[in-house]
Amino acid sequence: MAGNIHPTAIVAPDAELAEGVEVGAYAVIGPGVQVGANTRIGPHVVIQGPTRLGADNQLFPFASIGSAPQDKKYRDEPTRLEIGDRNVIRECVTLNRGTVQDHGITRIGDDNLFMAYAHVAHDCVIGNHCILATTPRSAVTCTSVTGRSWAACPGSTSSAGSVPTRSSRTTRRSRATCRRT
């Protein structure tokens, strides 16, 4: 079971917390959630399932992880969110599950940084070593990154557009699309 759960945190009986997991004050971990070893879940974080988080992730206050997709077609179908290892998910980030009209799964790789107020929409596939950044007057919504690695999606872009990325497997240039909201 987990290493340290604050007494005000709510953890569903069927949630699976690996060794060394820390859960902060007023965090809520719902049914169908799996959390990997040594993950730190900050205060007021909400994780809904089905969601799987890998090991050594850091989640900061008020992050909303694994909630229903923001899609009018969604009708409570079973969909998932899968998050790899060593990701940093800062304050007020939202990561939604997939939809059955698409992949049914939102996937996030390893070693990513989701800066405050970033949003990963349903069915996105984020590779490894990506950064989603925001500015004080905007948030960035990643809507169509499909498995790319080493992408940077800055919130300071003036309009929707493509950001050049470098794949970790090859030296060729690839493209990741981010939309400013």
pLDDT per position as a tens digit, 87-132: 999 999 999 999 998 889 999 999 999 999 999 999 999 999 999 9
Per-residue pLDDT of the chain (181 residues; tens, 9 = 90+): 567 999 999 999 999 999 999 999 999 999 999 999 999 999 999 999 999 999 999 999 999 999 999 999 889 999 999 999 999 999 999 999 999 988 899 999 999 999 999 999 999 999 999 999 876 554 445 544 455 565 556 554 332 333 333 333 332 333 444 443 3
Please name every residue paired with 156 in a beta bridge, in sequence order, or none if there are none.
Answer: none
Contact 127, 168 (CB under 8 A): yes
pTM: 0.79
What does the H/E/C string look like for the chain?
CCCEECCCCEECCCCEECCCCEECCCCEECCCEEECCCCEECCCCEECCCEEECCCCEECCCCEEEECCCCCCCCCCCCEEEECCCCEECCCCEEECCCCCCCCEEEECCCCEECCCCEECCCCEECCCCEECCECCECEEECCCECCCCCEECCCCCCCEEEEEECCCCCCEEEEEEEEC
Quote the CA–CA distance of 181 and 179 in Å, as a whole number: 6
Domains, in order of start, for the chain: 4-180 (2.160.10.10)
